[in-house]
Amino acid sequence: MSIDLSVEDLLDAYRTMKTIREFEERVHVEFAKGGIPGFVHLYAGEEASATGVCMNLRETDYIASNHRGHGHCIAKGVEVDGMMAEIYGKRSGTCHGKGGSMHIADLDVGMMGANGIVGGGPPLVCGAGLTAKMKGNGGVALAFFGDGASNQGTTFESLNLATVWKLPVVFVAENNGYAEATAASWSVSCEDISTRAQGFGMPGVTVDGHDFFAVHKATKEAVERARNGGGPTLIECKLDRFFGHFEGDNQNYRAKDEVKDIRENKDCIKRFSKTLLSDTAITTDDLAAIDKEVQALIDNATAKAIADQEPGAADLLTDVYIKY
């Protein structure tokens, strides 16, 4: 295949995907040990989507995410140390322990927040897109949401509004086959979520979400269209999650060996690595060096998060308002 990305970009993409994977695998292990409070939804298996999408965005562009948001955060440039500490509810966390896994946000890098409400993000990116349009700064705003949120009224309203207001917005539906424990093949009324785009007057495309290159290409076109005043696009990435809806989900709604098969045959990182090694000058040593670097990053972030202080009583009532 012809690859129009530099070796540096490809290695960056590998590093991002690997960072997400190791982050999530570690959170899975640490959650099982009992150190992580609350609800945690892991992104492992879907790395090609967040990475392939966000590589097309500038730091000043905005994304809104969902409950399965760790991958989007990492791909948009949120610091891993702060994220891990946030998931542990610690003071040095990205949100000082007041958000947790479902609410990690860092507006400084254009991350408008993971979101505990399914369908919460699409209206918000219409607003971020409106800001870019009003300021004429060439900015783009992009919403990640799942097959579950693809059935929410907020999403439909946002698709319509983005077209009506000609907003520089991209909608990325990550269809991992399940809204919680209910199959998308049952709950989504059409074969491909992207076909809904037609009803809202925008281009829609479905791509193989396990394929970094396919995601990257589709997003590149959509982001360019948005930046150039061509309005919104709906992209559907069909992909799979390695873990359950949330940590603790016994996944008894999935077929026997389904996850084993996905891990063996549909792992987006394995697929990406294979292409890098066969079609570029990148070597196994290059990838091994990144693996080692990522491992150290995650080890360090986890150790720091565990050792960090909890917030105290003085933090309870800060930042409810700017001024009250």
Give the number of other CB atoms < 10 A from CB of residue 142.
33
Distance CA 265, CA 304 (A): 35
Give the position of tokens 């993971």. 114
Give the number of other CB atoms < 10 A from CB of residue 278.
9
Nearer to another protein, 1 or 322 (CB): 322
Nearer to another protein, 36 or 161 (CB): 161
Phi then psi for 173, rounded to 5 degrees? -90, 115
Q: Which residues contact 121 (CB under 8 A, 6 or more apart)?
A: 64, 65, 66, 112, 113, 115, 143, 144, 145, 149
Nearer to another protein, 93 or 231 (CB): 93
Minimum gap (Å) between residue 37 Cβ and another protein: 15
Minimum gap (Å) between residue 255 Cβ and another protein: 34
Minimum gap (Å) between residue 63 Cβ and another protein: 11
Minimum gap (Å) between residue 167 Cβ and another protein: 8
Nearer to another protein, 127 or 203 (CB): 127
Q: Quick one: CA dihedral 130, 131, 135, 139, positive or negative?
A: negative
Minimum gap (Å) between residue 79 Cβ and another protein: 13
Nearer to another protein, 229 or 284 (CB): 229
Nearer to another protein, 120 or 204 (CB): 120
Give the number of other CB atoms < 10 A from CB of residue 303.
11
Exposed, middle or buried by CB within 10 Å (0-12, 13-18, 19+), for 173?
buried
Distance CA 102, CA 251 (A): 20
The contact set with another protein (CB under 8 A) reads 62, 64, 93-99, 103, 105-108, 112-113, 115-117, 120, 122-132, 134-135, 141, 153-154, 157-158, 160-161, 164-165, 318-324
Nearer to another protein, 21 or 90 (CB): 90
Give the number of other CB atoms < 10 A from CB of residue 277.
14
Minimum gap (Å) between residue 190 Cβ and another protein: 21
C-beta of residue 9 within 8 angstroms of C-beta of residue 213: no
C-beta of residue 245 within 8 angstroms of C-beta of residue 180: yes
Minimum gap (Å) between residue 240 Cβ and another protein: 29
